[in-house]
């Protein structure tokens, strides 16, 4: 197939959709964290516990 005959796909609508979804999810999470202030702390504690568990498994 010649390069001139190849079909091109416009990816910018998908980039825009992805960007809007990420912005929307960020706003939703910020709203939830305002309603439930302890929620981000519990995520942080869970992540720190997960990392500590991984570190103990690595250095056994």
Q: What does the domain layout of the chain look like in residue ranges?
A: 10-58
pLDDT digits over 2-29, tens only?
A: 666 778 888 999 999 999 999 999 999 8
Q: What does the DSSP 8-state code read for residue 3?
A: G
Q: Using CB atoms within 10 Å of the CB of residue 47, give its burial: 0 to 12 exposed, 13 to 18 middle, 19+ buried.
A: exposed
Please state, in angstroms and rounded to a whole number, the distance separating the CA atoms of residues 30 and 25: 8
pLDDT at 1 over 60: no
Given its phi and psi angles, is residue 10 left (phi above 0), alpha (psi -120 to 50 degrees) or beta?
beta
Mean pLDDT of the chain: 86
pTM, full prediction: 0.54
d(CA 31, CA 48): 23
């Amino acid at each position: 197939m010649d390069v001139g005959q190849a079909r091109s796909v416009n990816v910018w609508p998908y980039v825009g959709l992805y960007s809007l979804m990420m912005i929307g999810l960020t706003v939703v999470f910020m709203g939830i964290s305002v309603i439930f202030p302890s929620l981000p702390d519990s995520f942080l504690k869970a992540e720190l516990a997960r990392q500590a568990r991984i570190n103990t498994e690595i250095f056994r």
